[in-house]
A and B are shown apart, each in its own frame.
Chain A
Amino acid sequence: MLDAGRVHIQLRLVADRIAEVEIRSQRPNVARALRGKPAAQAVQLVPLIFALCGRAQGQAAGLALAAARGVETPPMLDAAIEIEVLREHLWRLLLDLPALLGLPAQRELFLKAQQAVATGDQPGLQTVLAQEFWNELLQRLDELVQPEEGVTALLPVMSARQSLAAWSRLNADIAALPLWQGEAAETGAYARWGGQNPTASGAFAARWHARSAELWSWSAGEQKVGAGGTASAADNGAGVGRSLIDTARGLLMHEITLDGDRIADYVIVAPTEWNFHPRGSLFDWLHGRPAVDDASLREFISQAIAALDPCVRWELEVIK
């Protein structure tokens, strides 16, 4: 099958501590596959390759192409992407997280909540969010062994036009190792929520609470531009267009360079490259941490990775 990429994490243990952390996000070279293609065809291929956020990827491609042709999109909440973001949050919170915490997956609640989101039924989602299960889930979260916040910055919410000041052009180096003001930064619901942690119980819980907060916000009709589902695009001159979309996992950027009606270059900067940067939050949480027994270490890493939520498979290698 086509490999959409993977995150490889290598730890070296010395004297029962994590002495070295190497994080590599490996992605296919999409530009190579798209270069020279008719632009209209290329923007249809992209969501096939990166299908986990298919709607966001498809929209990012379309908006970037329009911007390359001079049609900009000011920041707006895209209802379809917003629904995709909320459904992703529900999947993570009701199916993935319970399993990580030793609780049964909440299939019935998930299906009810999905229905509510898909039909715009905000009170219906509130009813699901008010179920007793959430208290149990959040209590288990608070009991987790988890780190304090690290030093990694949070990527601010920005529009495509504002992003031009940070990166005049995107390129393969930025796509592989994105930096904000010269440093690694985290993106996603937690960053969009301004790094708030209502329980102060640790870094993992804070990220799950932020996903939950976006669900509550939507159910109360309080979502604003800047929340998950926000989209914008800017004309970067000379046949170059850039789009930004806030997906469930964080900021997604596409930049298309046209040569007539064909793709001259195509750069995608995905949230996973921010959140699994070699010196990002995962590094903060792991480096120097005691690693006395193997089971606890793997449990901790599973929780850390789930909190950051890569959009590709991950693999762990521990060297002793």
Chain B
Amino acid sequence: MQVIELDAASGGAFAWCEGELGSERRRERLNILWLGDVVPGEWVYAVLGQARERLTPERAEEIRRALEGVQAALAGETQLDGYFPDLTSTTVR
């Protein structure tokens, strides 16, 4: 998800972030303490309401496609190669 703005009232603990997967676009208030701090425009990996990893925009896009591929596979789709163009050697950290 992309950091849109810090939640000033939270004193640096939360930030409003947006992301999309398939046709679904979501805005979520993420706890950012795992990362210490974030700045608007930055991309983060979000899990259970927490921002857990900083991402480059390219890596964020790669992950978005891969997750759409997993979602498609779980929905029964079999033609998946387009979803996984080139996962590079780094995994989410």
A312 to B19 Cα, complex, angstroms: 20
* Contact yes or no, A33 B70, CB < 8 A: yes
* Contact yes or no, A111 B92, CB < 8 A: no
Binary contact track A101-138/B, C-beta < 8 Å → 1, others 0: 00001010011001000000000000000000000000
A200 interfacial contact with B, CB 8 Å: no
List residues of chain B with CB within 8 A of the CB of A254. Answer: none
- For chain A, give the interface size range: 20 to 34
Contact A32 to B91, CB < 8 A, known contacts A48-B66, A54-B52: no
Contact A33 to B34, CB < 8 A, known contacts A1-B24, A54-B53: no
A70 to B74 Cα, complex, angstroms: 30
A111 to B35 Cα, complex, angstroms: 9
- For chain B, give the interface size range: 20 to 34
B73 interfacial contact with A, CB 8 Å: yes
* Contact yes or no, A58 B92, CB < 8 A: yes
Contact A28 to B74, CB < 8 A, known contacts A51-B52, A91-B34: yes
CB distance from B77 to the nearest CB of A (A): 10
List residues of chain B with CB within 8 A of the CB of A15. Answer: none
* Contact yes or no, B48 A52, CB < 8 A: yes
* Contact yes or no, B93 A2, CB < 8 A: no
* Contact yes or no, A33 B66, CB < 8 A: no
A169 to B73 Cα, complex, angstroms: 24
Chain B contact surface mostly: mixed
> Which listed residue, B45, B67, B87, touches A41 by the CB 8 Å rule?
B87
* Contact yes or no, A111 B36, CB < 8 A: yes
CB distance from B3 to the nearest CB of A (A): 17
> Which listed residue, B19, B45, B87, B89, touches A51 by the CB 8 Å rule?
B45
* Contact yes or no, B74 A47, CB < 8 A: no
List residues of chain B with CB within 8 A of the CB of A8. Answer: none
Contact A52 to B26, CB < 8 A, known contacts A2-B67, A47-B91, A111-B36: no
A189 to B66 Cα, complex, angstroms: 33
* Contact yes or no, A58 B70, CB < 8 A: no
A13 to B45 Cα, complex, angstroms: 40
What are 21 A-B interface contacts by the 8 Å CB criterion? A2-B70, A4-B47, A28-B74, A33-B69, A33-B73, A44-B89, A44-B91, A45-B70, A45-B84, A47-B92, A48-B67, A48-B70, A51-B52, A54-B45, A54-B47, A54-B52, A54-B92, A58-B91, A87-B34, A110-B33, A313-B48
When A and B form their complex, which 9 residue pairs have the shortest distance between CB atoms, in order from nearest? A33-B73, A58-B91, A54-B92, A51-B47, A33-B70, A44-B87, A47-B91, A2-B67, A52-B47
Interface residues of A (CB under 8 A from B): 1-2, 4, 28-30, 32-33, 37, 41, 43-45, 47-49, 51-52, 54-55, 58, 87, 91, 95, 105, 107, 110-111, 114, 312-313
Interface residues of B (CB under 8 A from A): 11, 13, 19, 21, 24, 26, 31, 33-34, 36, 45, 47-48, 52-53, 63, 66-67, 69-71, 73-74, 84, 87, 89, 91-93
Q: Could you list 18 further interchain pairs (A-B, Cβ under 8 angstroms) beyond the known A33-B69, A54-B52, A111-B36?
A: A2-B70, A29-B74, A32-B73, A37-B84, A45-B66, A45-B70, A48-B63, A48-B91, A49-B67, A49-B70, A52-B47, A52-B48, A54-B47, A54-B53, A58-B91, A95-B31, A95-B33, A107-B33
